[in-house]
Amino acid sequence: MQTRVLTGITTTGTPHLGNYVGAIRPAVAASRRADVDAFYFMADYHALIKSDDPARIERSRLEIAATWLAAGLDPDRVTFYRQSDIPEIPELTWFLTCVTAKGLLNRAHAYKAAVDKNAAAGEDPDAGVTAGLYMYPVLMAADILAFDANKVPVGRDQIQHIEMARDIAQRFNHTYGREFFVLPEVVIEEQVATLPGLDGRKMSKSYDNTIPLFAGGQKQLRESIMRIVTDSRGPDEPKDPDSSSLFTIFRAFASEAESAAFRQALLDGIGWGEAKQVLFERIEADVAPMRERYEALMARPAQIEERLREGAQKARAIATPKLAELRDAIGLRAIVAPAAGVSQPERRAAAKADKLPRFASFRDPDGSFRFRLFSAEGEELLLSAPFADPKAAGALQKRIRTLGAPAAVVQLSSLALVLELDGEAVASSPEYADEQARDDALARLREALERLAAQE
């Protein structure tokens, strides 16, 4: 089974070495794992909360997309997209907003920090606070829940946001009586290095102590490295590797053997200027080929745009049916659709009482009528074929309800299951990761059919 790993990249600022080592490099490595289904996106709606400068927003999106692609992110394996290309995200944000307690948002760290700052300055508590900042956690929950992400790798400062996404998902599931959303888990990468910046503090845009990854080219990289603060030990005096930023940064790029050699050179009293040159050459060996790709991409922005549009298409293939299901569940249904399935209070009662498998009807964007069958636990088991006539879809549901497991003809179609009635394929399961997973799902499907029939 693949784990869906999703994370958002804020599109403000220009990527620096700390971003590369702390976020980009590990995320690209993770995306290559066979057991990971990676969703990486540029959180440009979130960026609007921090910046109202259109040129900056535009520039930053381009640079960041080019950086991730140049660093080896393969958009054929990863779903790589822009948040603002997915209209389902703001739509879901509103659905979630309507079940989110205002009090929960009052407790968000970023909002509270703004209020505390205002209080200290004797200002109105909400001075300068936009509703966008206040709603930030709900938008982030929608980013995650629209795709049923299992794992969300983030920095420590984002843990509370993931907890809120879980709270909001649970609230929604409870209100509407079914496990609509996977509850996401936070992943904190303990292993990845945090790089010191030019002044020895953590490398961060807010300290203005960064070494740019690509901006300014090789020349800028070298100049920045030459500006890293060192102690005043002269040439030939032994240097302490463990208190030296140069060594910490070096280690983030080098092998064990290279690091051991550099450590020894410092102990042997290599001059700081020469040590910086060694560090520059080591980083440049990794960065140069990426920079070349970066420059080629930046010269052809249309290529980047095309990649991102393809990514949005892949992402929407998941989010669109998900939102259709949610719209249906909350009562935003076509007026002409049959009253298929059960009413909301009934559904709630059923969910609470004896947990039955259930159907959810929806309309495809092309207007046809479909439904899904979910297990009592909320797993999607089947998706019906499309029907032009809602009555035909309703009649099929009725037949599936009364079918029972022994009478069900289920065909295997490579990694999916296909339900047949009268020799016709009428519904199919999702694609499973392997045959074992598919066969396990078949058992669950049979169990669900059995339970439905027992109810009739």
Minimum Å gap between C-beta 8 and ligand TRP is 3
Minimum Å gap between C-beta 147 and ligand TRP is 10
Q: 107 vs 399, which CB is nearer to ligand TRP?
A: 107
Q: How far apart are CA 415 and CA 437, in angstroms?
A: 8
Q: 49 vs 376, which CB is nearer to ligand TRP?
A: 49
Minimum Å gap between C-beta 121 and ligand TRP is 25
Q: Which two tokens stand for residue 92?
A: 């879901």
Q: 184 vs 197, which CB is nearer to ligand TRP?
A: 184
Residue 8, interface with ligand TRP (CB under 6 A)? yes
Binders of ligand TRP in range 211-270 (CB under 6 A):
none
Q: 315 vs 403, which CB is nearer to ligand TRP?
A: 315
**Stretches 4-12, 273-281, 357-365, 445-453: which one binds ligand TRP (CB under 6 A)?**
4-12
Nearest residue relative to ligand TRP (C-beta): 8
Residue 13, interface with ligand TRP (CB under 6 A)? no
Binders of ligand TRP in range 103-162 (CB under 6 A):
140, 143-144, 152, 154, 158
- Tell me how many residues contact ligand TRP (CB under 6 A): 12
Q: 85 vs 447, which CB is nearer to ligand TRP?
A: 85
Report CA-CA distances (Å) from 445 to 84, 401, 402. 37, 12, 14
Residue 357, interface with ligand TRP (CB under 6 A)? no
Minimum Å gap between C-beta 27 and ligand TRP is 11
Q: 138 vs 427, which CB is nearer to ligand TRP?
A: 138
The footprint of ligand TRP (CB under 6 A) covers 6-8, 10, 43, 46, 140, 143-144, 152, 154, 158
